[in-house]
Amino acid sequence: MRFSKILVANRGEIARRVFRTCRLMGIATVAVYSDADRHAPFVSEADEAIELPGAAPADTYLRGDLVIDAALKTGAQAIHPGYGFLAENAAFATACAKAGIIFIGPSPEAIASMGSKVEARRLMLAAGIPVVPGEEIAGLDTATVATTAARIGYPILVKASAGGGGKGMRIVRDAAELEKSMAAAGREAQSAFGDETLFLERYIEEPRHIEVQILGDSFGTMVSLFERECSIQRRHQKIIEESPSQVVDDVQRAALGETAVRAAEVVGYLGAGTVEFLLDPGGEFFFLEMNTRLQVEHPVTELVTGIDLVRAQIRIAEGHPLDPEVIGATTSGHAIEARLYAEDPRHEFLPTTGTLHRFELTEPETSVRVDTGVENGSEVSIHYDPLLAKLVVHAPTRDEAAGRLAAALARAQIHGLYTNRELLVRILRHPEFLAGRTDTHFLDRHDPAELGAPLADPASERMHALAAALAGQYDARSGATLLKTIPSGWRNSPSQLQNFSFRGQSGDIEVGYRFDRRGLSVCLSGEPVPAVLRSCSAASVEIEINGVLRAFATHQNGETWYVDSVLGHSALLELPRFPEAAAHEEPGSLLSPMPGRVVSVAVREGDRVTQGEVLVVIEAMKMEHSVRAPTTGLITSVRIEPEDQVLADQILIVVTTVETPTEDGP
C-alpha cells in the first residue's frame, strides 16, 4: 500500500520534520493544532489543518479521538505520531487500527510492553538482558516503599513508568527525601503522560547514556543503526547528543547493537525505535528502557548513516522490506546535535516565554541542519515543551563538528527570550567535552549558571551599547526633515557629548559620543575610548574601537536594543533621559519566576517559615518548579491558590523577615 496522505499528530519541529520527508515522497500532509499554535509555522506548512480547540495538551494533542476524527475527515490513510503526546500510547494505536488508519509505529502490544518501564524490565530480565537493579512499587504503602528503597540502596531514582524526557523523575539520596520526591514525580508524570505510576531504580553514579537506533520490518528483519551518546543532560533530559560515542569501541559497539536487536525482537518490534543503555565507568552496560518511537536526536544517526529515518518509518508502515542501504548501513564522520531551549540556565533552567522578535540561526555557508518549530515573531507559550530548535552538524572529525556547531550557535540572532544558547556554546568548547570525558553528571561538576552566563563580558557589553546608541542616532536622523545627512550630535566645534543610558546584564552603561570635524569622540561609562565609525545604519554598525574593526548587528524592539557581534550578544534596555520615580514594591514580596499554573501552596497567612522552605510549586511547560522562602520570616500575605494561573513577576506571597534571637538575647 502506498500512502497518499498522512496526518501528523504532533506540533512544532517534529511536525515540520515529518512534513519535509512527506513532501519529498510526494505524500500530502495534514496538521492538527491547538489554539495556542494557530499561527505556528507547522500549521501553514501542511496541505490541510484541523483545529483542536483549547491550549492544554490534555484538551488537544492528547485527545486521540479528536486526532482520529481529523484523519477520517481529511482522508488521511496513516498517522505519524512524532514523539511525545500520543507517540507511545498503545490505546491510541489500537484506536487507529479500529478506525482503519495505519499507525506509523510498532504494534500496540509492543508499545504497551516497552512503554511501561516496569513491564520492559520484566521482559528484559526474562531474556537475559542486563538491567539496572530496581523494583516496582505500584500499590505498596508508604512504609513498604521505604523498605524497598532501602533494600535497593541509596541513591535511588524515582521514575515514571510511562513517558520519558526526564519528566516524572527524581534522584533521592536519603530516606527523608523519598515521600516528597515521589509525590512530585507522580504529579509531573500524571500531567505529562496521564499516568502517575512510579518505580524505583538504583542510581548509578557517573554513567554514560548510550542508546542504539533500531529498525525492524514486517518480514522479520531487524537491524541496528549504531549508537548515539546522550550523556550531556539537565534534569535527566538530553541537551547534546552525538554519534559515534568516543568510548565505544568496535567490540562494544557490536555487543550493544546485538543486545538492542535482541531486545526489540523480544516484543516483535516494527518500525523505528531506540534501546537505551547506561554504561558504567567500568565499561559494563545495562538496559535502561526502549523508546517505541522516533527520538528527538534522530538527526545525528541520519547524518552519519545517510538514512532518512522518517522515510524508513513510512516505507515500513506501507509494508515494504528494509531497503538494502539500511541493512548494509555504515557510518562516516561525526555528528553532534544541540537542543536550543527557551530556558534560563542561570536560574535553575526556568522556562522563558514570550515573543521571538528575531530568530535567525545560521548562515547558508555553515551547512548546519536546523530542525525548528518557530520563526521570527513566534510566540513561545507555557503550554508545551520549551524546545525551540535542534542544530546539527556533520563533519569529518568530532573536533570540527563541535567547533562548527559552537560557532553557529554563537553567531545566531535570538531576540526576545533568554535561551540556553550560551550554555551550549560553552559545553561544546569545554576542554572536558572536547576530550570526550562526558557523563550524565557533567552539569553537576560544572555550574550551569556559569556556563549559561552571557558570552559578552562587561567590556564587550559597553561596545554593544555604543553600537546601539549609534544605530539609534542613525535611525533618528533618517526621519529628519532638515540636514538629514548630518549625524546626531554633530558640532562645528568641540562641545558636550550626546549621552545615552542603557541597562544590560552587567549593569547600567553610560554612552557619550560627539561628531565634529575631527571625527567621532566616545566615552563609555566615564572612560574615553578611541573609536572610528566606518559605516552605520539602523540594522548594523561597523566601528573601529581601540584599533580593532568589528561589525555589530543591531535590532530595536520597543525600548530594548539587541546587539550581536563576534563578542557575544546583548539585550540592552534604553533608559529614559528623565526617569520617573520607581514604583513602590511591597517589601518581602515573593514573585513568580515565570508564567504557569499553581500546583500547591504550602503555607497560610500567619505561618512562620525558614529560609529555603518550599512555599509554592508552579508548573510550566510540563515541569514543576519550587518557589522557596528567601529568608526566615512570617507569612503576612498569600495572594494565590492552587490551580491559579500566574504571570511572571506576579506577587505570590509576602514574607516579613523575622530576626532570629541570639543566645545573648536582643
| Average pLDDT of the segment spanning 591-616 | 88
What secondary structure does DSSP assign to 90-130, as a single string? HHHHHHHHHTT-EESSS-HHHHHHHHSHHHHHHHHHHTT--
The pLDDT value recorded for residue 583 is 44
The pLDDT value recorded for residue 580 is 53
Last residue of a domain, one of 176, 202, 228: 202
Domain of residue 481: give its range.
458-574
Helix (H) or strand (E) holding 417: none
**DSSP 8-state class, residue 559:** T
Contact 43, 33 (CB under 8 A): yes
Residues 112, 88: Cα–Cα separation, whole Å: 8
Contact 301, 369 (CB under 8 A): no
Contact 397, 378 (CB under 8 A): no
The pLDDT value recorded for residue 140 is 86
The torsion defined by the Cα of 149, 150, 156 and 161, in degrees rounded to 10, comes to -10
In a domain, 150, yes or no: yes
What are 404's three cell numbers? 562548527
Residues 661, 157: Cα–Cα separation, whole Å: 40
The pLDDT value recorded for residue 475 is 78
**pLDDT over 90, % of the chain:** 72
Residues 428, 407: Cα–Cα separation, whole Å: 9
33 and 56 fall within a common domain: yes
Residues in a beta bridge with 158: 170, 200
The pLDDT value recorded for residue 588 is 80
CA 466 from centre of chain = 33
486 and 563 fall within a common domain: yes
The count of other CB atoms within 10 Å of the CB of residue 559 is 12
Instruction: Give residue 162's pLDDT band: very low, low, confident or very high (50, 70, 90).
Output: confident
- CATH code: domain of residue 602: 2.40.50.100
Instruction: Give residue 482's pLDDT band: very low, low, confident or very high (50, 70, 90).
Output: very low
In a domain, 194, yes or no: yes
The pLDDT value recorded for residue 367 is 86
For residue 400, pLDDT over 70 is answered with yes
In a domain, 275, yes or no: no
Crossing angle (nearest 10°) for helices 64-74 and 90-98: 30
Contact 99, 311 (CB under 8 A): no
Total domains in the fold of the chain: 4
570 and 602 fall within a common domain: no
Burial of 318 (0-12, 13-18, 19+ CB in 10 A): middle
163 and 187 fall within a common domain: yes
The count of other CB atoms within 10 Å of the CB of residue 151 is 10
Quote the pTM value. Answer: 0.84
80 and 167 fall within a common domain: no
Last residue of a domain, one of 175, 202, 229: 202
The pLDDT value recorded for residue 478 is 65
| Average pLDDT of the segment spanning 408-434 | 97
50 and 93 fall within a common domain: yes
CA angle 246, 165, 378 (to 5 degrees): 105
Give the number of C-alpha atoms closer than 13 A to the C-alpha of residue 171, restricted to the C-beta side: 11
What are φ and ψ of residue 350, in 5° steps?
A: -60, 135
| Average pLDDT of the segment spanning 92-106 | 98
The torsion defined by the Cα of 513, 514, 520 and 521, in degrees rounded to 10, comes to -60
The pLDDT value recorded for residue 538 is 93
In a domain, 510, yes or no: yes
- CATH code: domain of residue 515: 3.30.700.30
570 and 593 fall within a common domain: no
Residues in a beta bridge with 540: 553
- CATH code: domain of residue 14: 3.40.50.20
The pLDDT value recorded for residue 666 is 43
In a domain, 413, yes or no: no
- CATH code: domain of residue 185: 3.30.1490.20
555 and 602 fall within a common domain: no
In a domain, 118, yes or no: no
Last residue of a domain, one of 86, 104, 122: 104
**pLDDT over 70, % of the chain:** 93
For residue 114, pLDDT over 80 is answered with yes
507 and 567 fall within a common domain: yes
* pLDDT single digits (tens) 330-380: 999 999 999 999 999 998 898 888 899 999 998 766 789 999 999 999 999
602 and 652 fall within a common domain: yes
In a domain, 123, yes or no: no
The pLDDT value recorded for residue 264 is 96
Closest CA to 28 of 11, 7, 10: 7
- Of residues 62 and 592, more confidence is placed in 62
For residue 664, pLDDT over 60 is answered with no
547 and 630 fall within a common domain: no
In a domain, 311, yes or no: no
Contact 91, 162 (CB under 8 A): no
462 and 570 fall within a common domain: yes
For residue 477, pLDDT over 80 is answered with no
